[in-house]
């Protein structure tokens, strides 16, 4: 990962939309319906839905246990969610499987914790974190945005906490995705 010192909060911020509203039916009518049917018949869409449920449960579990500070709670929630969706996007290469996993994650979060879901849905912080995944950006930017959004932009400890939350949860999410989707148990490797 590239560590970037270039940090411009105002550059090209767009709303980052949580989840996908595509259902299995709308996916089926997409450009390559045969690929959809292949993914469905191989059980990959079912696995993707399970990944979404498992990641949501993981987020809700960790949200209650890591870095309890009322000043940073919403930003922590958003960063946990964003790390899990980034792991999905970097790990799952098939658009149908990815879309099913993201939709499942959002739907599960909405059903299990509507307040958490609405925080993510209504916050511009997801757009800030989306900027961190652009070329030329790096892990340090996640920490800087976390600190900035928490109104502690010059606090090096808060920057480190933001970086650690992202790195750890991204890695844990990626491991879970590989375990379910690709049947790779990284503990056996």
Report d(CA 108, CA 52) in Å as an integer. 7
User: What counts of helices (H) and strands (E) characterise the chain?
Assistant: 9, 0
pLDDT confidence of 71, banded at 50, 70, 90? Answer: low
Residue 135 pLDDT greater than 90, yes or no: no
Least confident stretch, 15-24, 70-79, 85-94, 149-158: 15-24
pLDDT average, residue stretch 140-165: 90
**Cα-to-chain-centroid distance, residue 37:** 26
Q: Which two tokens stand for residue 55?
A: 């990641």
Question: Where in the chain are the domains?
Answer: 24-181
Least confident stretch, 15-19, 73-77, 110-114: 15-19
pLDDT at 19: 45
- 168 vs 29, 50, 165, CA distance in Å? 37, 21, 6
Report d(CA 131, CA 143) in Å as an integer. 12
Q: pTM of the predicted model, to two decimals? A: 0.76
């Amino acid at each position: 990962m590239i560590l970037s010192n270039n940090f411009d909060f105002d550059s090209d911020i767009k709303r980052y939309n949580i989840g996908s509203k595509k259902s299995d039916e709308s996916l089926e009518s997409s450009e390559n319906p045969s690929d959809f049917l292949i993914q469905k018949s191989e059980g990959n869409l079912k696995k993707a839905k399970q990944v979404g449920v498992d990641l949501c449960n993981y987020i809700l579990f960790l949200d209650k246990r890591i870095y309890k500070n009322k000043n940073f709670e919403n930003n922590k929630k958003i960063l946990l969610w964003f790390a899990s969706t980034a792991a999905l996007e970097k790990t799952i290469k098939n658009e149908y499987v990815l879309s099913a996993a993201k939709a499942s994650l959002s739907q599960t979060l909405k059903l299990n914790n509507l307040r958490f879901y609405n925080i993510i849905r209504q916050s511009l912080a997801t757009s800030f974190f989306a900027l961190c995944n652009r070329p030329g950006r790096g892990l340090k930017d996640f920490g800087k945005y976390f600190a900035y959004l928490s109104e502690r932009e010059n606090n090096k400890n808060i920057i480190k906490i933001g970086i650690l939350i992202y790195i750890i949860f991204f890695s844990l999410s990626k491991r879970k995705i590989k375990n379910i989707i690709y049947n790779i148990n990284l503990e056996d490797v």
